[in-house]
Structure 1
Amino acid sequence: MLGRTANGMFWMFRYLERAENTARMLEAALRMALTRDLMTSEEEWRSVIATAGQKATYEAHNGTYTGIQVWNFILRDKDNPANVREMFKSVRTNARMVRTAISSGVWEAVNENWMRLDKMLSRPVSQSNVGEVVKTIRAAGTQVHGAMESTMLRDEGYHFARAGTFLERGDSTARILDMKYFLLLPSLKYVGTRLDSGQWDQVLRSVAGDRVFSWLNAGRIDARGIVQFLVLDDRFPRSLNFCHSALREQLAALARIHGAEVESNALMREADTHINEVTVDDIFEQGLHEFLSDFTRRNAAIGNAIADDYRFLA
């Protein structure tokens, strides 16, 4: 497979995952903001911008943090080159580039959802339809992934697509979790209060883990249990452990196809060993922020190595 085709498959599904994760984060913020007064609601929207890594760009064009400003900036604002509309446009652009490497079902799911979202995001998103927009973005991700799983040959293209998905998903979960105490919680005096529990619930909703966590823990919400769940529980498909295990499988499959292991396989083994040997006690002793920063650094290094190993720019 040509490097540019591998690059297209990899980034098509990274952008798809990024768009879906952003929609989930917005959905959780919308729910939380409805229960807050004006001041704490603004902090909620501020945390969304910070988690998305768009604080500087947002504040260059906006002086306040209201819901309608934030979700339009995240979803469609031309001043934000990383908005969801542009993300999904990149999904479609990459899909067109690798048209001969994907099934007709995958192409149709991408193209039809792009046309639907492009129309919805061609005008400002109001309070009355933001929920529908977010739901449509999530459904688009589900449809494209479903088409890939049910119609794609398990060849190089499939494995590059899945590698992109799990690399992006792990990064997203780590970044959402990392923002918890630094941005969502106004003060340490709130730790252990209802507000603290509400913030952890928002973290779970942002990664679609609220119901399954509640089921596993009889409705009890606490920091230790959530870190255990989102970092180490290999049953949950958005946990860091699950994402790295799945990424390792995709890279191993690519190594078998190419007949040799490469740098990304070595980095993956090192990262996998690290996360499989760590305990919740180790994470809190090291510091949650420090642990997650190390995870995102390793994740980025693996992504760069994949691009180099398979000559994405060749």
Structure 2
Amino acid sequence: FGTMLQDEAFYFSRLGTFLERADNTARLIDVKFHALNSEFFGTATEEDLEYDFYHWSAILRSASAFEVYRKVYRDVIKPERVAELLILRADMPRSLHASLQEVVKNLDKVKNDQSAETQRRAGKLLADLQYARVDEILATGLHAYLTQFLDRVNELGWRISQDFLVPGR
């Protein structure tokens, strides 16, 4: 991307990259958190936390977020902070928030007469991430939140294909 002409092809490529990144990050978080029962938060023993450290660090490493976590939180890895980092932190490049910021930015670069509703929906999803709080997400259910997020991201992908790739719309 550092050597590509920043034309329409570039912006569509970036759009696809960030939609896919958002999808993959959400699935990664969902798989790990779904494996834990909801009672884990706040009730784990010291031994549980020590054992699980390796799982959480693997999740962070798979999202290139381990060093960022250490820099931001500077303490032991906690599931709710992993969720916060990978979902809500705009300054974490692989977070859902950062990915949606890029989707909105690149959609704006390629907008056409048919894409206003897609842009609105992308902006609404970004706003939901900007104003969300991790404690509220966890209280209402992370799996449900991520499932809804994935549905919305997949709908954005479908709408983008309809807005830009289907002739005669």
Alpha-carbon spacing, 1:292–1:243, altered in 2? closer, same or farther (3 Å): same
Alpha-carbon spacing, 1:259–1:181, altered in 2? closer, same or farther (3 Å): closer
Is the CA contact (8 Å cut-off) linking 2:114 and 2:163 kept in structure 1?
no
Corresponding residue number in structure 2 for 1:295: 149
In the TM superposition, residue 298 of structure 1 has moved relative to its aligned partner by 0.6
Corresponding residue number in structure 2 for 1:280: 134
Distance 2:16 2:115 in 1: 18
In the TM superposition, residue 190 of structure 1 has moved relative to its aligned partner by 5.8
Larger Rg: 1
Is the CA contact (8 Å cut-off) linking 2:84 and 2:134 kept in structure 1?
yes
Does 2:125 match 1:271? yes
Corresponding residue number in structure 1 for 2:94: 238
Corresponding residue number in structure 2 for 1:307: 161
Question: Aligned letter for 1:197?
Answer: F
Alpha-carbon spacing, 1:251–1:285, altered in 2? closer, same or farther (3 Å): same
Is the CA contact (8 Å cut-off) linking 1:267 and 1:302 kept in structure 2?
yes
Is the CA contact (8 Å cut-off) linking 1:190 and 1:196 kept in structure 2?
no
Residue from 251, 262, 269 that aligns with 2:116 = 262
Distance 1:236 1:182 in 2: 22
Corresponding residue number in structure 2 for 1:152: 4
Does 2:57 match 1:206? no
Distance 1:231 1:313 in 2: 35
TM-score, normalisation: structure 1: 0.48
Alpha-carbon spacing, 1:304–1:155, altered in 2? closer, same or farther (3 Å): same
Alpha-carbon spacing, 1:300–1:260, altered in 2? closer, same or farther (3 Å): closer
In the TM superposition, residue 275 of structure 1 has moved relative to its aligned partner by 1.2
Question: Aligned letter for 1:201?
Answer: S
Structure 2: state its 5+ residue gaps.
none
When the two chains are superposed, the root-mean-square deviation of aligned CA atoms in Å is: 2.3
- The aligned runs of 1:108-127 (5 Å cut-off) are none
Question: Aligned letter for 1:227?
Answer: A
Query: Partner of 2:165: helix, strand, or coil?
Result: coil
In the TM superposition, residue 230 of structure 1 has moved relative to its aligned partner by 0.7
- The aligned runs of 1:1-314 (5 Å cut-off) are 148-149=1-2, 151-183=3-35, 192-255=48-111, 258=112, 261-311=115-165
In the TM superposition, residue 183 of structure 1 has moved relative to its aligned partner by 3.5
Is the CA contact (8 Å cut-off) linking 1:262 and 1:309 kept in structure 2?
no
In the TM superposition, residue 218 of structure 1 has moved relative to its aligned partner by 1.5
In the TM superposition, residue 216 of structure 1 has moved relative to its aligned partner by 1.7
Question: Aligned letter for 2:30?
Answer: D
Distance 1:286 1:228 in 2: 15
Give the number of aligned pairs: 163
Corresponding residue number in structure 2 for 1:22: none
Runs of 4+ in 1 over 6 A off after TM superposition: none
Percent identity of the aligned residues? Answer: 29
Deviation readout 1:106-143 (Å, 9 max, x if unpaired): xxxxxxxxxxxxxxxxxxxxxxxxxxxxxxxxxxxxxx
Q: Which has the higher contact order (CA 8 A, sep 6+)?
A: 2
